[in-house]
Structure 1
Amino acid sequence: QTDFGGSPVINNDHWLYWGERQVSLDDASSSVTIRVIEQTEFLDDETYEPIAGPSTSEPYAKRCCQIRLESRDKLMYIQKEQLGLEAEFDQHVLPDGKCTVDAFIYVFDASRVEGRTFESQCSSSASILSNVIKTKKPVVIALSQMDIVDDEAR
């Protein structure tokens, strides 16, 4: 078991709750709530396999496209030093322990990573984006790490 898998921030899930913000719309008489969720994969410290969780049986490319997320008492992620020391940080709990995804932002890491080819990065991206399209939710694609881009990505 990962050292922090039971942390209320991770909560044995493979996603982080980054917080929420109320945003006023143009007419100023109504607002929307924007919640930011980051899909990831937490690994066991000893086996380097994904930690056990409610949906670990599904491959990441499918799991990261879920539109209904639940995690009772899930805390907002603030910084890595928070893990294991949650009581020393502000406690922002995911309201009702539930979140519905209305849109996706897919961030493509274009940097060179040891042991990962550009081809494999593109293949996993295509698999994930194929599953995102099946949700019929809007998706924005962004590129990161362009300052240290893999030469193959140019």
Structure 2
Amino acid sequence: MTPDIAGHHGSSSIYAERTIHATPQEVFALLADPARHHLTEPRDWVRGSLEEQPAPITEVGQVFGMEMFNTHRGGRYEMHNRVTVLEPDRAIAWAPGQRTADGEIAAGGWFWRYDLEPATDGTRVRLTYDWAETPQETIEKIGGMPAVSERYLGKSLAALAAAVEPGES
């Protein structure tokens, strides 16, 4: 078992790292498929795509919707994520937000980023959660930041590993 590494990038981001025993292409394929994002969720927070047949993530600026559930947020809610980084088999990131009445996406000010690096026994994955751009009003509404812990990020990477490692799915 490869030990997880976790830490702070500064005062507004946390990360976790793990070696996953799958190729960068296999890891990236799951991350670029919104229909499979629930497989990276250790707490059943991400329930699934809002679309019955969601399109794979193929470009920066693309938006994909996810059904979410959190009892502290009143149960079911929706997030609309704008892709901010897309380097096939290397990196992918998105900024979650809410759809406004006029159909625009109002980003919350945080992002999720996965960086993939080939390793001799698979892929070294770094998951970063950054809330540097989150307005104070949103931080207060959420109840403080970070909304998740480094431990949560490590569990998310363990779930990702379980979904892509041979013999695990």
Task: Give the TM-score taking structure 2 as reference length.
Answer: 0.28
- Bigger relative CO (Cα 8 Å, ≥ 6 apart): 2
Task: Give the TM-score taking structure 1 as reference length.
Answer: 0.30
